[in-house]
């Protein structure tokens, strides 16, 4: 594991490059386009193009789990870069410009003549419900050749998104990035992303933990599922035998840091109201990774993660609503 920030970058993230397209609509729009209100539905190319054209003007910004985490790292004042796959289309340029605008380096060339850039089309109705239609497009076809080895080896931490672990090509890309980081003595981290992902990829991910991963992020259900147990303490013991560090989020109960036989619990920040939980895990990881890259101890790093998560769930959207570097200064000094 890396233990300082002598490298050029603090964190490099690898994930599904998705543009979030968010627009306010009424229930008539939901009915007219036969959408499953309040649910997330995977859609194909034709449906994605048709629905995008039908939506009223709204917010378009770079998204995807690992990209959200890199935005969080940059907001803390960290040096972040991102590796993902976009097309040479309008939304691909939106993704590129938006990431760069918030201080995240993104230099992977776009691909022409293939599938369009991934997008998550989000319809928000007056009752504040979010209906999401996700098209993964070109993002899920990241290849090993598109992993910038110099970039990966220049960062203290590599952060890989579990959602990307699907197509064989993308799996090879993640393994390649992990191998490069390990060879350079950097720290490799993996987020479990979602319980459905764990169910599908449990055996492969257990192999990754044994051979390539130093740090794991996940919520209690995901970590328990990974080891097929129903007790978080048992799961913590199991993950401790596989990796150096695990950061397990526990919802309203905060989070737990697992390091060998040590168990450090961090209280959750109290909020008057939770507005939107989108991005909570992504921003928790951002705070932790930034803290670790700056030499913070485990409690300080987890505290940064908790504060970032609390901030992002206090408003709509998966981006921090204020500059997180002020938070970092108050904790790290």
Please state the three-class secondary structure of the chain as a single string: CCCCCCCCEEEEEECCCEEEEEEECCHHHHHHCCCCCCCEEECCHHHHHHHHHHCCCCEEEEECHHHHHHHHHHHCCCCEEEECCCECCHHHHHHHHHHHHCCEECCCCCECCCCCCEEEEEEECCCCCEEEEEECHHHHHCCHHHCCHHHHHCEEEEEEEHHHCCCHHHHHHHHHHHHHHHHCCCEEEEECCCHHHHHHHHHHHHHHHHHCCCEEEEEHHHHHHHCCCCCHHHHHHHHHCCCCEEEEECHHHCEEEEECCEEEEECCCCCCCCCCCCCHHHHHHHHHHHHHHCCCCHHHHHHHHHHHHHHHCCCCCCCCCCCCHHHHHHHHC
- Greater confidence, 221 or 275? 221
Predicted local confidence at residue 68, as pLDDT: 93
The reported pTM is 0.90
All domains in the chain, ordered by first residue: 9-16+64-113+137-332 (3.40.1190.20)
Dump pLDDT digits (tens) for 32-58: 999 999 887 889 999 999 999 999 998
Confidence of residue 5 (pLDDT cuts 50, 70, 90): very low
Confidence of residue 3 (pLDDT cuts 50, 70, 90): very low
- Greatest mean pLDDT range, 130-134, 163-167, 183-187, 274-278: 183-187
Report the mean per-residue pLDDT for the chain.
91
Which region among 65-69, 158-162, 313-317 has the lowest average model confidence (pLDDT)? 313-317
Predicted local confidence at residue 22, as pLDDT: 86
């Amino acid at each position: 594991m890396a233990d300082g920030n002598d490298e050029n970058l603090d964190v490099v993230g690898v994930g599904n490059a998705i543009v979030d397209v968010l627009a306010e609509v009424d229930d008539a729009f939901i009915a007219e386009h036969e959408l499953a209100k309040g649910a997330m539905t995977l859609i194909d190319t034709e449906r994605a193009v048709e629905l995008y054209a039908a939506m009223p003007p709204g917010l378009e910004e770079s998204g995807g789990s690992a990209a959200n985490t890199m935005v969080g790292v940059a907001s803390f004042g960290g040096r972040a870069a991102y590796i993902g796959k976009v097309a040479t289309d309008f939304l691909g340029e939106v993704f590129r410009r938006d990431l760069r605008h918030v201080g995240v380096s993104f230099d992977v060339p776009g691909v022409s003549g293939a599938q369009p850039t991934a997008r998550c089309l989000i319809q928000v109705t007056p009752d504040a419900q979010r209906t999401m239609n996700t098209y993964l497009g070109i993002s899920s076809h990241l290849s090993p050749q598109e992993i910038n080895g110099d970039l990966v080896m220049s960062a203290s931490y590599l952060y890989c998104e579990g959602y990307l672990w699907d197509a064989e090509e993308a799996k090879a890309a993640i393994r390649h990035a992990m191998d490069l980081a390990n060879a350079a003595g950097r720290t490799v981290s993996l987020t479990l992303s979602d319980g459905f992902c764990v169910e599908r990829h449990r055996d492969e991910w257990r192999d990754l933990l044994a051979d390539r991963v130093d740090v794991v992020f996940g919520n209690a259900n995901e970590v328990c599922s990974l080891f097929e147990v129903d007790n978080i303490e048992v799961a913590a013991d199991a993950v401790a035998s596989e990796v150096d560090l695990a950061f397990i989020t526990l919802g309203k109960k905060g989070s737990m840091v697992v390091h060998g036989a040590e168990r450090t619990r961090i209280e959750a920040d109290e909020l008057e109201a939770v507005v939107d939980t989108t991005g909570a895990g992504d921003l928790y990881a951002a705070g932790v990774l930034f803290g670790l890259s700056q030499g913070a101890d485990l409690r300080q790093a987890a505290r940064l993660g908790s504060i970032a998560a609390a901030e992002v769930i206090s408003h709509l959207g998966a981006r921090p609503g204020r500059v997180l570097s002020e938070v970092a200064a108050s904790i790290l000094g």
